[in-house]
Structure formats: C-alpha cells, structure tokens
Amino acid sequence: MAVDRRKLLTGGAAVLVLMLAAWSLWPSPPHAAQAPRRASAAARGKSAVAADSLGPMAPVKLGALNDSRDAPGQAARNPFRFQPRLVEPPPRPLVVTQPVIEAPRVTPAPSGPPTPPPIPLKLIGVLERANGVKWAVLTDGKSGPMYGRDGDIIDGRYAIVKIGTESVEITYTDGRGRQVIRLTGQ
C-alpha cells in the first residue's frame, strides 16, 4: 500500500510541474493597450499603411523599395561633434605685395680644433675579480673582444679612464674626445 501511495504522490507532482510549464509557455493574448492605439490611428484618418506599420508583424511593402529617393547631398554635419553649423566666411580679396629679400645669413665658423670622431667601440661586459679589480670587455665589431683595466690602452688608440658597473669612460690616447660607453653599446 505504501508503494502505491508513493507512486500516486510522484505522479501528482509530475502532473503539477507539467501544468506549470504549460501555463508559463502558453502564448499571451495581445496587449490591451495596442488595440485602442490601432483604432485611434484609423479614427484620426491616417493611412492604412501607418496603421499596419504599428503592429509587430506588419507586412513588407516590396513595391515601396522601387520608389524614387532623394540623392545624397554633401556631408554638412559631423554627428560626432556637438557644435552649431559653421558658416563659411566670404573670400578675402587677393593682395599682391612685393617679396621681401633678406640678406643671406652668415653662420659663424666654429672656433678651435675640430672635434674627434666618436669612438667606435662597444662595451659587451664588465668583469670583476675577487680582489676588486674591474676589467672592461670591448669590441669594435670587426675583431675579437679586447680586455682592459683602468689606465690601459686599447687597440693602440684608446685609453680607459674609468670602469663603472654598467659603463666605461674612454678617451683617445692624447686625451681628446672623452666618451662614456654604456653596456648597451651606445
């Protein structure tokens, strides 16, 4: 008897769930507000096309697609700017003037000796020994690496002035053209 009662309760719950699902999915009647609006549009004397276009399922008028339309004009407004329409000012009269002839500018000649060319070496590394002595590893891009400490002469032309953690200061052997070369090679 308990099994029959359990089947009966389960069946009743299933029927109740099905009834709720059917009720929620059942199509609703058209809204009451739409019917008077259609009637009032027809009563005011509007065309049948306007009355039909108010409904959500208005028929498509294919003949209206072939009707003539206005040609597009020039774009006189920018929809992305909020400002009044600008009126073009009248054209200004053309004024002819005599050209101004300027005297040629004379640039002063550089005084003193010419600057030496930049040093073409690149720093590719800094080595530090346990006793605190730093060695710079340099290259010119053509030959192998060159090594040097503070005060050493590299490639017979350049003297190392000071070695930092990420840069080296180099001059020509005669003391001209002091340049700092960073680890990035510049």
Question: What pLDDT tens digit does each residue of the chain (186 aa) get?
Answer: 556 888 889 999 999 999 988 888 888 765 544 544 544 544 454 444 444 445 567 788 888 888 887 777 666 666 777 776 667 888 888 777 777 777 778 787 777 778 888 999 999 999 998 898 999 999 988 888 999 999 999 999 999 999 998 999 999 998 888 999 998 755
Q: Are 163 and 147 in contact (CB under 8 A)?
A: no
Question: Do 39 and 51 form a contact (C-beta atoms < 8 A)?
Answer: no
Q: Residue 16: what pLDDT?
A: 92
DSSP one-letter code for 77: -
Helix (H) or strand (E) holding 146, with range, is strand 146-148
Contacts of 54 (CB under 8 A, 6+ apart): 34, 37, 38, 41
Domain ranges of the chain: 122-182
User: Hunting for tokens 């389960």 — which residue is that?
Assistant: 10
| C-alpha triplet 58, 60, 63: angle, nearest 5° | 140
Nearest to 53 by CA among 70, 68, 37: 37
pTM: 0.40
Q: What is the pLDDT of residue 91?
A: 82
What is the predicted pLDDT for the residue at 41? 46
